[in-house]
Chains A and B, each alone.
Chain A
Amino acid sequence: MDNAFQKDCLEILASKVEKGEISRRRFTQMAAMLLAGAPALLRSTGSYAQAKELVLVNWGGDAMTAYDKAYGQPFTKESGVTVKMDGSGPTEGAITAQFKSGKPSWDLMDIDPFSGISLGKQGMLEEIDYKTVDKNKMRPGFGWDHAASTYFFSYIIAYDSSKFGDQAPTGMADFFDVKKFPGKRSLYKWGSAMWEAALLADGVAPEKLYPLDLKRAHDKIAAFKENVVAYWGGGAESQSVLMDGEASMALIWSTRASLLEQDSGGNIKFIWDQGLISPGALGVMKGNPGGKDNAMKFIASAQTPERQLEMFNMLGQGPANPATDALIPADKKRINPVDPANMSKQVPLDMEWYAENYGKAFDEYTKVISA
């Protein structure tokens, strides 16, 4: 599905590193994403892991710098194992291709946990060794057999406050209510969290969401279709839809929402209420060249709160280890998707459900929105 989120973090990092180039970033990001076919030949020049070496595959560009600085270098210092970053993008398709080649060159991959679950079931990923990786350093319910939780982001409501006077939305019901909150909306092109949003708006209680009633969700979305101006496919696009005034409200990634707030001078606001929390994870390639043990040790080292804090500062992702929360300065706590105050207002996506149903659900969603 998305992977788009991971890619998006690169953009955010880039904009933090050198303020002032979202639009240009957007070109490259779209380029990378849309023309993914064209540079395919270039990608095959990926790194090959040697002994005493791990290859971590993420979504390219500047995320390589972030992972390297926060996780890679400290790990090398304490273990002597070099960590090479490879930004070629571990889509499920690419992981499958790697695995089927019989001689994978990748060790660790930044993946959606539900991809981890389904790839794990197909025998393409090593089981996470929870003797080395500490489950106590994860939020309860976010450690999977084949994927270890490393960060969080949320799908939340962001809105153009200039359009609503002194009213503010308080949840998904308001998002789907164009009488009370006039204007167009924008939804996520790849479906995730949109079903949950529709069901919450339709009055389903958060704890009764799963298994999702897809029929009901799609009916709700289909009936709402004429109010949707665009289905954004990447973070920059979600940002421009609100910035250009094309939508008065959108369901977007929390990392983008806080950027939008800055860019618009506070005009665009966001709420955590009924936000949908989505975890990100690391998976280990079955029979990885750098050895399972080292890969597990790396994951364990990435649980260190200080290192996760570094990632939060650079990318705005919520830390996987709850102990990190306390290290976040008070003024930044507000934008941490898993800060206790924010988390209590939100609902986590059920990765088991996604592993089982995402493909079919996304097909159906595409049908509904494109019809």
Chain B
Amino acid sequence: MNSSRPGPVILIVATAVALFLLMPLIAVIPVSFTPARFLSMPSGTLSLRHYQALIDNPAWGQSILLSLRIGILSSAIATALATMFGLGIWMFQPRFSALLIGFVLLPLVVPPVVSAMTLYFP
């Protein structure tokens, strides 16, 4: 393993990438404590008003619950269907398994907006 531990160059690059990955999250956290009504960096004072609103306004609770419900339901269905399919492929190695796998991965590569249109209209 130690035959190719990351050298200094790649470590520097990787550190930069790691910071890049964390950057917007670093920005989001202070913004959530802004005392202003609008999206802004807090200057001086911090406020929990937006967290307060999150608790006080039932609409947020409701939409979080709805998200959870949909999330749980759809992941349960997806996992069940995919597990069965995966088992089927693994156990029987059907003749066109590559084709079948390609087919079920379709929704992954089709742009979401096309999927949305497909599901919404016809």
Does any Cβ of B come within 8 Å of A20's Cβ?
A: yes
Check: A213 CB closer than 8 A to any chain B CB. no
CB <8 Å contact, A20 and B117: no
Contact residues in B for A15 (Cβ distance below 8 Å) = 37
Q: Binary interface profile of A, 31-51, with partner B (CB < 8 Å = 1, else 0)?
A: 000001110111110000000
Q: Are A18's CB and B57's CB within 8 A?
A: yes
A18 and B37 contacting across the interface, CB-CB below 8 Å: no
Distance between Cα atoms of A236 and B119 in the complex (Å) = 29
A23 lies within 8 A of B34 (CB): yes
Smallest CB separation, A130 vs chain B (Å): 34
Total cross-chain contacts (CB, 8 A):
60
Whether B53 and A18, one on each chain, are in contact in the complex, defined by CB atoms closer than 8 angstroms, is yes
B89 interface hit (Cβ, 8 Å): no
Size class of the contact patch on chain A: 20 to 34
* List of B residues within 8 angstroms of A62 by Cβ: 59
The main secondary structure of chain B at its interface with chain A is helix
| Nearest CB on B from A290, distance (A) | 24
- Mostly, the A contact residues are helix
Is the CB of A239 closer than 8 A to any CB of chain B?
yes
**0/1 per residue, B43-59, Cβ < 8 Å to A?**
00000011001101101
Among B40, B54, B57, contact of A244 (Cβ-Cβ < 8 Å): B40
Contact of A22 with B38 in the complex, beta carbons under 8 Å: yes
A38 to B112: give the CA distance in the assembly, Å. 8
Are the C-beta atoms of A40 and B119 separated by less than 8 Å?
Answer: yes
Answer whether residue A363 sits at the interface, using C-beta atoms and an 8 A cutoff. no
> Is B13 located at the chain interface by the 8 A CB criterion?
no
Partner of A23, one of B50, B54, B113, B119: B50
Interface size on B, residues (CB 8 A): 23
What B residues does A21 contact at CB under 8 A? Answer: 37, 50, 53, 57
Query: A341 in the interface, Cβ–Cβ < 8 Å?
Result: no
Determine the distance from Cα of A36 to Cα of B113 in the docked complex, in whole angstroms: 9
Instruction: Provide the residues of chain A in CB contact with B38, threshold 8 Å.
Output: 22-23, 26, 236, 239-240, 243, 263
Tell yes or no: B83 within 8 A of A by CB. no
A22-B119 contact, Cβ under 8 Å, with A37-B112, A37-B113, A38-B112: no
Known: A20-B50, A37-B113. A26 touches B37 (CB 8 A): no
In-complex Cβ contact of A18 among B31, B56, B116, B120 (8 A): B56
A24 on the B face (CB < 8 A): yes
Q: Which among A24, A36, A41, A244 has the highest number of chain B CB atoms within 10 Å?
A: A24
Query: Which residue from B49, B70, B119 sits with its C-beta under 8 Å from A20?
Result: B49
A23–B41 alpha-carbon span in the complex (Å)? 11
| A208 beta carbon closer than 8 Å to chain B | no
In the complex, are the beta carbons of A19 and B121 less than 8 A apart?
A: no
Known: A24-B50, A37-B120. A19 touches B37 (CB 8 A): yes
**Which of the residues B50, B57, B116 comes within 8 Å of A38, measured between beta carbons?**
B116
B97 interfacial contact with A, CB 8 Å: no
- Is there contact, CB below 8 Å, between A20 and B53? yes
Bound state CA distance, A41 and B116, in angstroms?
9
Q: Please judge, given known A-B contacts A23-B31, A40-B120, A97-B121, whether A240 and B113 are in contact too, CB under 8 Å.
A: no
A112 to B84, CA, bound (A): 49
Q: A40-B119, A41-B119 are in contact. Are A22 and B37 (CB under 8 A)?
A: yes
8 A-B pairs with least C-beta separation: A37-B116, A40-B120, A23-B39, A22-B37, A22-B38, A21-B53, A20-B37, A23-B38
By a beta-carbon cutoff of 8 Å, the part of chain A in contact with chain B is 15, 18-24, 26, 36-38, 40-44, 61-62, 97, 236, 239-240, 243-244, 263
Contacts A21-B50, A97-B120, A244-B40 known; 11 new A-B pairs at CB < 8 A: A15-B37, A20-B49, A23-B37, A23-B39, A23-B40, A24-B54, A26-B38, A37-B115, A37-B120, A62-B59, A263-B36
What are 29 A-B contacts defined by CB distance under 8 Å? A18-B56, A18-B57, A19-B37, A20-B37, A20-B53, A21-B37, A21-B50, A22-B37, A22-B39, A23-B34, A23-B36, A23-B38, A23-B39, A23-B40, A24-B50, A24-B54, A26-B38, A36-B116, A37-B120, A40-B120, A42-B70, A43-B120, A61-B59, A236-B38, A239-B38, A240-B38, A240-B39, A243-B38, A244-B40
